[in-house]
Amino acid sequence: MQKFIKTVTLASAFLTIAGAAAAEFPEKPIKVIVGYSAGGGTDVMARTVAPFLEKYLGEGSSIVVKNMPGASGQIGVTEAANAEKDGYTLGTYNLPGMMARTLDRKADYDADSFTYLANVVNDPNVIVTSKKSGLDTFEKLLAEAKANPRAVTVGMSSLGGDDHFLLTKLQKMTDTEFTIVPFRGSAPARTALMGGHVAMGVLNVSEVSAFKEEINILGIALAERSEFAPDVPTFKEQGIDLINGSMRGFIAPAGLPDDVRAKLLDAFNKLEGDAEFKAAMKATANPVEVVTGDDFKALNAEILDLAKAVWAETPWR
Amino acid sequence: MYTDLIQSLPNVIAWTNLAALVIGVLAGIVVGAMPGLSATMAISVLVPFTFGLEPLVALGLMAGIYNGAMYGGAIPAVLLRIPGTPAAVATTFDGYPLAQRGEGGYALQVAVVSSAIGGVASAFALMLLAPPLSRVTLLFGPAEVFWVAVFGLCSIIFLLGGNIVKGLISACFGVFVSVIGSDPIFGNDRFTFDQLELLDGIHIVILLVGLYALPPVIDLLESPLKTDGGASEHLGTQPIWRTLPRMKGYWKTWLRSSLIGIWIGILPGAGGSMAAFMSYNEARRASKNPEEWGKGEGEGVAASETANNADTASALIPALTLGIPGTAVAAIMLGGLLIHGLQPGPMLFRNNPDIVFGFMWQFLFGAILLVFLGGSLATNSFAKLLKLPRPLLGSVIIILMLIGVYSIHGRMFDVYLMLGFGAIGYVMDKLKFPLPPVVLGLILGGFAEENLRLALRIGRGDWAVLFQNTTSLILVALTLAVITGPMIKKRLLKAKASNGKA
């Protein structure tokens, strides 16, 4: 009898293993950790992407978004980096923020902690000025900055973010100097700009498209014009090769099984061609730019280098 | 614009939207009444679920919760001296003494009527004045906001009560807590001891629950055999038509507190607690018998509760028109709007008038619903809770507190932190240190520091930036008036008295 039980146990154990190997990923819900509160920009992106990802991962797949806000997204991304490497825990990822965090404070992850799945959003920077400032062209702004170093006050969301990096690039390229006023987020920075409390602002295009009449938008940091603001010239058109933005995407912990990684990448790759997806992203003010797998990894490395250079030259804390 | 307002009305009274509003208000009252759970949290839990709902159903739920929670916080504030939400701290001052006198029912009726009045006033401000009022927000740059915070901090002086030294120590403790976390400008860590959990600073609800809710519960458990709960079991509830005449003298307070609540609401960053404190302070200053305040003056409950509901809709004025939220709840609601494809900004009113104006109607109806849903139903069910034996009641409250604090970020760290603040609160309570200055110090200390530093950066180090425009100067004058007012009044009275003698 005992032998019989042993046999049955062994056999069923074997069957379970065989079953697991044969089953297709995903066979249970996939958790996506968002390092910001529900309703924030990254959260809205994750929730907008989720149904399309489910569609491309196949029948019965489901995505559960979990918010773990705190420490500018660091708590959530740390959790994702240290999760099981089975593809059932993914995380959202923000550039340059997540790499900047590894420089300006102690972080329990680095650039090698992740399997890079896809960047989905690229929200390019724009330079705007207050109507009261009288600086209504990029040319006038630069002239003023050159004539009176540090006289132009610049409202932006925070130090060590994309806004800050854009300004650093601009100062270097044009040999100018501005006074940074770091607000707690873009919305208060934009309001200070509209009230004329600061002269200039560095924001993202999604944050200004509803405010075209209230502020001067001088240029956009993209290679080509954006569909979100087609009448805004690029800086390239104005003679300076200034390209920068805030990126949001998805990562998994490093070392995912190859088949799982391939399946996820495949699903993310299909997003780009989905018109319905693009419409949904546009409605939530998210400019889409899908970069997957190794290209995403390379993009991350590039931004880390930039962040290191900025940190070495002008540490922000 | 006003035709849009009227055209959006039929949508709002569709039964699904009304049902969402009713459910929202009820849920809000319950959430607000539980120490540790706040409207901010309830709505952030809700936002993901509203993804698939019709916009007005989703927004109705949010509007209902917001209004309900702002009243709900008054229930334990009155009955147990435990503010259910940060904005209900000032409600404890007179609400609890009333309850101890056996007039808890009256205090709650004042709270519900005042909450509804504040909510209705706020909704009207949002409906009729959103675009022009958003211009007011633009007048307030960092320098001006700094002065608003100073103005608020000065009201601490009036909350100190008997012992000024102890009060100031309490306030300093609050300011110290506000300093913990990343520095608001450069992001340097301050007093974080390398704890990731402390980087964002200490959430006000953690401090509040520890400080306010734990000590009364310990008291409750220290003498388990006494029969009367934290407050009197005897609510002395009477039908509202009998108590309404007693409130007839409150109309000035209702009016003043509504205006204060609306004003604080449209200022970025300042929330319901500041509105409630300031309105309590102003109402007491205007009162003929200020010495009765803090001993069970119904008008004190009216002042606090009117103001903390009057900032709900008005906090959405800058949120909807400028994309800048006046309170944490408004910030989460903005996200909720975005999920439904509604981009805040000047274009919102042109692009989605039916939904924006529908949302405003929901605020109005939510406020009115409070009177019906918050009155006898909620009050009586919570009053029953108080009849529980003390050890059981104490345990229930502790469990609610633990759940509430844990669910802010979903981590035990905050629970330990709360227990630590509880110990501090217990000691402060025994040594008769006042607790309200701690809360004001935390809220306004951080607010003042951040804006002062931003203003100085804008002025490139020159302090003159703080006195450069009319708005700042008006605020400075107001602050001076508040500080010197009592002294001047005393002098005038003295002069009059001596004139009379002559």
> What are the 10-residue block averages of pLDDT along chain B, 502 residues in total?
82 91 92 82 78 86 92 89 88 92 89 94 91 84 89 70 79 91 82 83 85 82 60 66 85 95 82 87 88 90 95 88 78 78 78 88 93 76 73 84 82 92 92 85 85 92 90 89 74 75 50
d(C-alpha B447, C-alpha B179), whole Å: 10
**pLDDT band of A17, cuts 50, 70, 90:** very low
Specify the pairing of strand A114-130 against strand A245-253. antiparallel
Chain A positions in Cβ-Cβ contact with residue B325 (cut-off 8 Å)? 187
Whether residues A195 and B47 touch (CB distance < 8 A) is answered with no
> What is chain A written as a DSSP string?
-HHHHHHHHHHHHHHHHHHHHHSPSPSSPEEEEESS-TTSHHHHHHHHHHHHHHHHH-TT--EEEEE---GGGHHHHHHHHTS-TTSSEEEEEEETHHHHHHHHS--S--GGGEEEEEEEEEEEEEEEEEGGG---SHHHHHHHHHHSTT-SEEEES-TTSHHHHHHHHHHHHHT---EEEE-SSHHHHHHHHHTTSSSEEEEEHHHHGGGTTTEEEEEE-SSS--TTSTTSPBTGGGT-----EEEEEEEEES---HHHHHHHHHHHHHHTT-HHHHHHHHHTT--EEEEEHHHHHHHHHHHHHHHHHHHHHS---
**Which amino acid is located at B481 in the chain?**
A
Q: What's the distance, CA A233 to chain centroid?
A: 23
Chain B positions in Cβ-Cβ contact with residue A43 (cut-off 8 Å)? 335
What is the pLDDT at residue A226? 92
Tell me whether A187 touches chain B (CB under 8 Å). yes
Chain A positions in Cβ-Cβ contact with residue B457 (cut-off 8 Å)? 153, 179-181
Distances (CA, A) of B217 to A153, B211, B242: 51, 11, 33
d(CA A236, nearest CA chain B) in Å: 29
**pLDDT band of A22, cuts 50, 70, 90:** very low
What is the pLDDT at residue B1? 63
d(CA B212, nearest CA chain A) in Å: 25
Whether residues B187 and A159 touch (CB distance < 8 A) is answered with yes
Of the candidates A47, A197, A285, the beta carbon closest to that of B142 is on A197
Mean pLDDT of chain A: 88
Interface of A with B in 87-146 (CB under 8 A): 104-106
| pLDDT tens-place string over residues A254-276 | 999 999 999 999 999 999 899 99
Chain A positions in Cβ-Cβ contact with residue B339 (cut-off 8 Å)? 39, 44, 47, 284
Chain A positions in Cβ-Cβ contact with residue B140 (cut-off 8 Å)? 195
Q: Which residue has the higher pLDDT, A163 or B218?
A: A163
Interface of A with B in 68-87 (CB under 8 A): 68-72, 74-75, 78
Phi-psi region of B193 (alpha: psi -120 to 50; beta: other; left: phi over 0): left
Chain B positions in Cβ-Cβ contact with residue A68 (cut-off 8 Å)? 409-410
Chain A positions in Cβ-Cβ contact with residue B269 (cut-off 8 Å)? 188
What is the pLDDT at residue B500? 58
d(CA B203, nearest CA chain A) in Å: 11
Strand (E) or helix (H) holding B153: helix B142-159
Which residues, in sequence order, are CB contacts of B408 under 8 Å at separation 6+? B36, B41, B203, B205, B206, B414
B interface test, pick of A191, A209, A228 with most B CB neighbours within 10 Å: A191
What is the pLDDT at residue A21? 44
Whether residues B323 and A190 touch (CB distance < 8 A) is answered with yes
Nearest chain A residue (CA) to B44: A38
Tell me whether A153 touches chain B (CB under 8 Å). yes
Whether residues A197 and B335 touch (CB distance < 8 A) is answered with no
What pTM, to 2 d.p., does this model score?
0.82
B interface test, pick of A148, A159, A193, A197 with most B CB neighbours within 10 Å: A197
What is the pLDDT at residue A18? 43
Q: Please list, residue by residue across B214-243, b when 16 or more beta carbons sit within 10 angstroms of its beta carbon and e when fewer do.
A: bbbbbbbeeeeeeeebbbbbbbebeebeeb
**pLDDT band of A20, cuts 50, 70, 90:** very low
Residue A19 has pLDDT above 50, yes or no: no
d(CA B47, nearest CA chain A) in Å: 7
Of the candidates A180, A190, A284, the beta carbon closest to that of B338 is on A284
- A81 in Cβ contact with A255 (< 8 Å): no
d(C-alpha A52, C-alpha A110), whole Å: 29
Provide ipTM, 2 decimals: 0.81
**Which amino acid is located at B377 in the chain?**
L
Strand (E) or helix (H) holding B190: strand B189-190
Whether residues A195 and B345 touch (CB distance < 8 A) is answered with no
| pLDDT tens-place string over residues A23-42 | 688 889 999 999 987 777 88
- A29 in Cβ contact with A63 (< 8 Å): yes
d(C-alpha B240, C-alpha A11), whole Å: 73
Chain A positions in Cβ-Cβ contact with residue B356 (cut-off 8 Å)? none
Burial of A224 (0-12, 13-18, 19+ CB in 10 A): exposed
Chain A positions in Cβ-Cβ contact with residue B453 (cut-off 8 Å)? none
Phi and psi torsions of A3, nearest 5° = -65, -40
Which residues, in sequence order, are CB contacts of B32 under 8 Å at separation 6+? B38, B39, B68, B69, B70, B71, B72, B73, B74, B75, B84, B85, B88
Of the candidates B143, B324, B341, the beta carbon closest to that of A188 is on B324
Whether residues B200 and A71 touch (CB distance < 8 A) is answered with yes
A interface test, pick of B41, B193, B337, B409 with most A CB neighbours within 10 Å: B409
Residue A4 has pLDDT above 60, yes or no: no
Of the candidates A38, A106, A214, the beta carbon closest to that of B47 is on A38
Within 10 angstroms of residue B341's Cβ, the number of other Cβ atoms is 16
Whether residues B335 and A40 touch (CB distance < 8 A) is answered with yes
d(CA B304, nearest CA chain A) in Å: 28
A to B CB pairs, distance under 8 Å: 132
Of the candidates B45, B338, B458, the beta carbon closest to that of A181 is on B458
d(CA A255, nearest CA chain B) in Å: 25
d(C-alpha A155, C-alpha B324), whole Å: 14
Tell me whether A162 touches chain B (CB under 8 Å). no
Of the candidates A39, A160, A283, the beta carbon closest to that of B335 is on A39
d(C-alpha B315, C-alpha B271), whole Å: 8
Cis peptide before A96 (omega within 30 of 0): yes
